[in-house]
Structure 1
Amino acid sequence: MAITPADLITVASGGLVGFILALIGGGGSVLAVPLLVYVVGIRSPHVAIGTSSIAVAISALANLLGHWAAGNVRWNCALVFSAAGIGGAFAGSFIAKQIDGQQLLLLFGMLMVVIGVLMSRRQSGGGDPTIRLTIATAKTMLPKLIGTGFGVGVLAGFFGIGGGFLIVPGLILATGMPLTSAIGSSLVAVFAFGASTAASYALSGLIDWRLAGLFISGGLIGGLIGIGAGKLIGAHDKVLRAVFSAVVVVVGLYVCYRGVAYFLVAQHPMSL
């Protein structure tokens, strides 16, 4: 089968998401749905969400391997957080499939604006590098991990996003681990939530598998580039995060604009 310009655009879009996921550990997946709808051209928001979910899950898994090798994953904390969130992801995806696709996009745009603001305020560094989930710490740590994990899972499933922008601060809040450990550990949950959401949408036939394959291929390439770029950027990551958070806000506002315009046209078709 010949490679078309649309295929190249899909690979490039996936590469952008993988690059950002590897570079800053979260937030990149929130661009997947707008890219698939407005750049790649998927007409159904539900298919875009389902397709992005499997792509984000695979990209997160690939990026996780690098962080695991670097010793940045706190497995006990990550697995408890992920297990709690899987149920939330299934619940969120079930609810989302009952909502009109354009309404879902409008809500997604609003969420992107919130994400951009939260990312711009994220702290760097700090935390206790020796923190672990043990019998001694479980009494205080487990309830926080389970509660936060489930809540983030619901949002991840509802919007078809990895949720790293919430998982990272959630892990820090629940455990007190440093940012580098939270970023590495967050990818376990991003994979789990993305896979759960994708399974739910796949059962409903709402995944374009060919586009997903192209998007994933781009994500793997972008992830490798992102890991290398992260080593070069080093201390300048705050500037990068600020720029990216601004991009997320702008894209979110555009998605909101398109959503509002759609409903105005639907209600007053002869006025525009």
Structure 2
Amino acid sequence: MIALTLTAAVLVGVTLGLFGGGGSILTVPVLVYLAGVPARQAIAMSLFVVAVTSAVSAIGHARAGRIRWRTGLIFGAAGMAGAYGGGLIGPYLPEVLLMASFAAMMLATAVAMIRDHRTPRVTPAHREAPILHVIAEGVGVGLVTGLVGAGGGFLVVPALVLLGGLPMGVAVGTSLVVIAMKSLAGLAGYLHSVTIDWSLALPVAAAAVIGGLVGGSFAGRIDADRLRKAFGWFVLAMGVFVLVQQSPPALLHSAWTAAGAALAALAATVALALRRRRRSIAGNHPSRSNAYTPGGIESWSKS
């Protein structure tokens, strides 16, 4: 399982370096379902992995001039405050609630990745973002990051485009700085009450860093829309899987029963519609309707 876990970590890093977000949402499921790490420890470990991967991936973007430092540092500082608070609260929440919230986050991430990414109208690209808006957005996204251990890049990138007028490539690079800062703050909050297995966290982080460097090397060179959508569908499937895993057995049984009943009703409706269609076709067939034509009447009267 460790080899599969490390392979999945490379995929997380690639998507994080390429898209500036999205891949980190898979870190917790990878650790929980592949490595067998308990949910709270998995969230704390995910924050460490995402922080390291984002920081290393940001280096390539910085060299290419795709980071707006002032906006990123202000957003990141606000995000750190929210993430630290989330990291303090998260360990005391039920694991089922944490994982269900994480599944909801995955579904939201998937929708954001699947939908068309048309660059919205913004003011000139070099205008700095309104400080109060950036701070408010940063605290909110940071709180989510601290609670569920996801980087929230799918929230950060649009915010940087809309609030700061950053081009998409610059927003991706800047988001990595923000994600690294708030993930570290969330980790600090979790470490007050959660212990991390560093013998697993360090190899996973190293694998994700390798993937992040690969993804960062392709950023700005390829049209990633199709890849983003395909990955979004994968995240959607994973989100549904995680959500189903957290459902109580009785509720899950009821859901399957309801689904079976719905499918049976649908099958009966389709069968009835097909039967009516066959009758309609048969009623309009020439061999059945010739008694109503002049020739048909004549033939009928002769008989």
Q: TM-score range by the shorter chain?
A: 0.7 to 0.9
- Structure 2 partner of 1:242: 229
Given that 1:92 and 1:154 are in contact with CA atoms closer than 8 Å, whether structure 2 keeps it comes out as yes
Please tell me whether residue 40 in structure 1 is matched to residue 27 in structure 2.
no
Given that 1:164 and 1:186 are in contact with CA atoms closer than 8 Å, whether structure 2 keeps it comes out as yes
Please tell me whether residue 106 in structure 1 is matched to residue 100 in structure 2.
yes
Aligned match of 2:6 in 6, 11, 26? 11
- Structure 1 partner of 2:247: 260
Given that 2:161 and 2:171 are in contact with CA atoms closer than 8 Å, whether structure 1 keeps it comes out as yes
- Structure 1 partner of 2:76: 82
Counterpart of 1:199 in 2: which secondary structure? helix
| 1:122 CA drift (Å) | 5.4
Please tell me whether residue 147 in structure 1 is matched to residue 141 in structure 2.
no
Given that 1:7 and 1:214 are in contact with CA atoms closer than 8 Å, whether structure 2 keeps it comes out as no
Please tell me whether residue 23 in structure 1 is matched to residue 10 in structure 2.
no
Q: Which amino acid is the alignment partner of residue 55 of structure 2?
A: L
> What is the TM-score normalised by the length of structure 2?
0.78
For 1:131 and 1:124, how far apart are their aligned partners in 2?
19
Gaps of 5+ in 1: 1-5, 266-272
Please tell me whether residue 156 in structure 1 is matched to residue 145 in structure 2.
yes
Instruction: State the identity as a percent.
Output: 35
Could you report, residue by residue, the CA deviation over 1:20-55 in whole angstroms, capped at 9, with x for unpaired residues? Answer: 10111111100000011111221x100000011101
Q: Which amino acid is the alignment partner of residue 116 of structure 1?
A: A
For 1:125 and 1:147, how far apart are their aligned partners in 2?
22
Whichever of the two has the greater Rg, that structure is 2
Counterpart of 1:12 in 2: which secondary structure? helix
Higher RCO (CA-CA < 8 Å; seq separation 6+): 1
Could you report, residue by residue, the CA deviation over 1:44-67 in whole angstroms, capped at 9, with x for unpaired residues? Answer: 100000011101100000100000
Change (3 A) 1:262 1:225: farther
Please tell me whether residue 171 in structure 1 is matched to residue 122 in structure 2.
no
Given that 2:91 and 2:193 are in contact with CA atoms closer than 8 Å, whether structure 1 keeps it comes out as no
> What is the TM-score normalised by the length of structure 1?
0.86
Could you report, residue by residue, the CA deviation over 1:176-228 in whole angstroms, capped at 9, with x for unpaired residues? Answer: 21111110100011101111111122232332211110111101111122234
Change (3 A) 1:204 1:243: same
Counterpart of 2:194 in 1: which secondary structure? coil
Change (3 A) 1:93 1:122: farther
- Structure 1 partner of 2:62: 68
Q: Which amino acid is the alignment partner of residue 163 of structure 2?
A: A
How many residues are paired up? 251
Gaps of 5+ in 2: 253-303
| 1:9 CA drift (Å) | 2.6
For 2:249 and 2:174, how far apart are their aligned partners in 1?
39
For 1:71 and 1:258, how far apart are their aligned partners in 2?
43
For 2:164 and 2:226, how far apart are their aligned partners in 1?
27
Change (3 A) 1:35 1:262: farther
Counterpart of 1:250 in 2: which secondary structure? helix
* Structural RMSD (CA): 1.9
For 1:121 and 1:39, how far apart are their aligned partners in 2?
29
Q: Which amino acid is the alignment partner of residue 235 of structure 2?
A: V
Given that 2:55 and 2:176 are in contact with CA atoms closer than 8 Å, whether structure 1 keeps it comes out as yes
For 1:144 and 1:182, how far apart are their aligned partners in 2?
16
- Structure 1 partner of 2:201: 212
